[in-house]
Structure 1
Amino acid sequence: MTNTKYTISAANRITGKSRTTITKHIRAGRLSVTQDDQGNKLIDAAELIRVYGDDCNFDREEKSTDQTSAGHSTGNSSLEVQQLKDQLARETTERERERQQYREQIEHLQETLKRAQEGQNSVTRLLENQKQGRGDWEEAIKTIEKRLANQEQATKAELESLKAAANKKLMRYRDALEKERNKSFWQRLWS
């Protein structure tokens, strides 16, 4: 006997009496009970022996308890197995997502490296071409410098001629203004 207090259902299994009969005996005061913290009615083993005597078989309750705990452990283990399977599935999905991200990053880096190598090859070809035709580059730059110098001189000459023409016009306007000022009132009126 591992337990000393039993619920009404456990007393039913121990004595073979129905729950209704046990409840009637409790109400009639023939069988005394106590209550646990949750308010469950508990019957002491000695009380069951006092009232039901030889009808009590505590082995039936212990077997029932063993089967229930075995059922709970089997139920718990199958629940744990299912939870572990679910967790494994989630982690597998997460690892696959991470692998896919790594594959995409690798592809992106390979493409970037390829473009960088192509750019480097282009620069190398340009430098090689420049080294081979260095005299051509220098000559082309000198030609451009001469052309720019000639255009600058032509622009300066044109600017000087425009300044001279503007000064001539300005002088004519000043002379005309001065003549207009020197006229008398009657000359201005009739002209």
Structure 2
Amino acid sequence: MAKVSISEAARLTGKSRTTLHRLIKTGELSTCAGVRNSKMIDISELIRVFGDISSTTVEQPEEQVSGQRVTVSYTANEQLVHSLKQEVEHLRTLVSAQESHIDSLKQSLHLLEHKKETALPVLPAGKWWQFWK
């Protein structure tokens, strides 16, 4: 018969994957190797353990998602986006203030370096000890 993955078997039987893994570990439910040695369960094995499977097997492409639900309202998302935009603006203001502060410090440093060059004392010509005479 057809073989299904553990997730698909959980969906078919209405049991959780954890329950199926526990039954596999205790030996009550047997598995077989599938593609790339993944655990697969034969549908006849599911019928043996759980009885008649009420839902019919409908094959869906793996990339198709079914049963999506919106868990967060749009207004909550809009509020979050608004608060994040405000935070970004605040951070931009802080960065701008820091950059202007850095520029002013650079100018101050440049002025201090310029004063050092011109403020060096000029010693009289001759030997240095003659300065004390």
TM band (smaller chain): 0.3 to 0.5
Report which of the two structures shows the higher radius of gyration computed on alpha carbons.
1
Higher helix residue share: 1
For normalisation by structure 2, the TM-score amounts to 0.43
Q: TM-score, normalised by structure 1?
A: 0.31
